[in-house]
Structure 1
Amino acid sequence: MLVGGVAAFLMLGSPSDTDVAGGSCEAPVVLIDGAELPESIGSFSAVQVRNAAVIVSLAAERDLPPSAAAIGIMTAITESGLRNLANEGKFVRPANSRVMSAAEWDRWRAVAMLSLNYPNDGAAPGDWDSVGLFQGRPQAGWGGQGTDEEIVQNLLNPAYTTGRFLDELVTVEGWETMPAWKAAQTVQVSKFPMAYDAHWEDAQQLTQALTGTEVTFEGCTGDPGAASTYPGLVADSGWAAPITGARFTGGFGDVRNGYTHMGSDFAAPLGTPIYAAADGLVTHTSCKGFQGRSPCNVMIDHGTDADGARIQTLYVHMYPGQTHVDIGQTVTAGQHIADVGNNGRSTGPHLHYEVWVNGQAVNALPYMRSQGITLP
């Protein structure tokens, strides 16, 4: 069944006293019958409550604790406002994008716009080809296999997309005890990982209202670790050079083999230390490709600047074992976070360094100069 009613996924039941998730969370609780759902909970409408109920019920069906449902609800609030959204196809593909080619974008835009033909909770302009409660992208496989129409119907089925989210969540090692936003980010790989945390309290309240059980999930922040001695200058702005003793070899905006280079390259011997450019929170680290960039990669969120812009930095091309920080870890300017590698699309050992402002890469050299740091 591609599109089903909510009531099919809501069950009568009572709490179990079975230990789950390592014994640190409450046992799963099954929802009351869908006909008894409240018309609203706090500021959330009947439509949003219905979608939250699907998430809670499916978590319970899988013997997952309420914390899993709350993480799902938090994610859906962030991604779609807890609504099952169609995609109007109004997203404009950046000319230098490496996420999709122009031809791929034309194809997947048409697929996403098929969502307008099926029942939904409203239509949004669209972020790439995202559809549904969790804003899954058909191009990335979140709609499963089948015809274009079947893929879109899957993405507009809250039960299907919730199931996909929970399937991925439970494969995240330690999800039960890590910060909720980190668990969501590991599944979703968002440009703005900290956005999830803003909706954690609402998600807890919705889960408690629908189950009668308090969400007892307790996350941890991780060990920030000790900063190594930094050989460079930390400017009065709080910023530092991400590498010292390196040679500048490639700039922002260079055109290479049909794509536009979005960072600044600094050649240095293998194993040369890479440093956090400013205080912040590690929000991404992996040895897979990320946003069109090579593995391994680390992203640090530095919060907002005086103008309210979100500032992030990205460090790329390390080998496995050459990153020394983890998601959720707090770092300080000049802290040793990784070592220079030659991994991925690379012609020699170097650091590929990017500065992002509000989710978009900008030229790092003038930005760093504005912070009192002149890079090689």
Structure 2
Amino acid sequence: MSDLAATPTDRRRPRRRLAVLIGLLGTFLLLCCGGGTLVVLSGFAGDGDDPAVDRLAADACGQGGVVDANGKLPSVDSYGPDKIRNAAIIINVGKQMSVPPRGWIIAVATAMQESNLTNLGNLGSRNDHDSIGLFQQRPSMGWGKPEQLRDPAYTARKFYEKLLKVTGWQTRPLTDAAQRVQISAFPDAYAKHEPIATRIVNLLTNGAARAVNVGNQLRCAAAGDITASGYTRPVRANIVSGFRTSERPGHNGVDLAAARGTDIHAAANGRVLVARCDPAGDGSYSCDVDGYPGKGGCGWFVDILHAGNIITRYCHMVRRPVVKVGDLVQAGQVIGQVGTSGDSSGPHLHFEVHVNGNRGSAGAINPAPFMSERGIPLGGKA
């Protein structure tokens, strides 16, 4: 038996998606320091004619709290109120420019890498000589005058102007989109900031990172949509067995009861770590036939590594996956089809999420809240 947990299906606990109540919330203000600018943030991100429609997805899909205009700005992990204030300026400039929320996440994550969300002065020879501001933009490279680059709003606008010129930036991996703007000596460094940048955007906008931008209006994600957080449903199907239930404490994922042959999609951009039959056995074991409870293993399965050392796992495929180890995949890309190979009593996708790059049981977390936080509630009939 491999390090993978046994994954038989359990159809005793079907769940239905809860209806969402949509309320119209007031606009809230954030007073942000930077170049003497008064920054006004709305709880939504669209720019349509009807504010109620614009904030539909943020209010309906988001669970992040609204920042109290009369209170202190929050801290998020190691990012205190002053740094969150700079993130708010970046987000607000993006909204003013009609940049979709995906761009806000890219911009905030980039500033996290370049300056730790600190408005840097001229660091001299210690840091690329004339790099300045939240994005370490250089006057000598045509980004602007030093006094301009010390204004967070100006420097954010310059970042977005270049980002919008990147072909397909909304569907590119965050680190790729950021690198095409920044031309950094460390092009892979941006990716690790994506999860926290997503949290910050959700907090300051009441959940815009959980939404889908369509025609400059936000709405809740539907089947096949990719949210601003960069995630999508692996399949659209009801959850029929939950994570580590009292009946099955060793069940390290959720079972989604999709029909045999249903396409399975990568939940987010990433790199394939594993694509094989589990367990390999002594030659008498086969993943090319239907499994049964107690047979053992995931059958045909795939593990994908995503930004922030998140790993997703997809088990019981009907045949060999259509991706191989080392492949770079995009969110929504088909990686295989639903089956019932391995330790399984019927066709379904067993879906797992692991943190800290740990593929074992110790790294497994409940996929349902993880995906909901990214705007992709699991469940719903195919």
TM-score (norm 2): 0.41
